[in-house]
Amino acid sequence: MSHVICTAALVILIFTMQSYYLHVVDNIWVEMVERELKEIADYVSDTLANLYFLANSTKGDVNLTKTLNLPSDVRDSTYIVKIENNTEGFAQSIHAYLKGRSGVDATSWLLPGLKIDEEKTFEIESGGKTVVAGCHRENAITYVWIRQV
């Protein structure tokens, strides 16, 4: 009888350890992906801030664009980069998240006072396409956007 109990305990221990191991590996994968998404969000946010500062250092209306060097995927997963806005149309942050797994995400804040250009795209999906960030000023209002070309 004791052999049966020991064998059953050993089998349960093996399955429990395997389940725990898979949970730990998944947590490490999520942490690595969130770090990469944070780098992407910070890069887009910094680029838009630089374009904003450059636009404000000139007089009159101006239109600036810059090609972004974004990875085609993050850990073999497609990701989305979006400019988040409030109800008044002001851009607040850059939100990067995995497509189909929106709980794996990262956010980087933008400078206050930027508006989203509703006529241009403010959300992109990864996939190897060229991504362009832009900033333009019209009538003392500065607009930002990102799009795929």
Q: Would you tell me how many other CB atoms lie within 10 Å of the CB of residue 85? A: 18
Q: Using one digit for the tens of pLDDT, what is the confidence trace for 52-83?
A: 999 988 888 899 999 999 999 998 999 999 99
Q: Tell me the mean pLDDT in the region 10-36.
A: 91
Q: For residue 91, which of 132, 120, 126 has the smallest C-alpha distance?
A: 120
Distances (CA, A) of 4 to 1, 11, 47, 79, 130: 5, 11, 65, 50, 62
Q: Using CA atoms, how far apart are residues 93 and 51, in angstroms rounded to an integer?
A: 15
pTM exceeds 0.75: yes
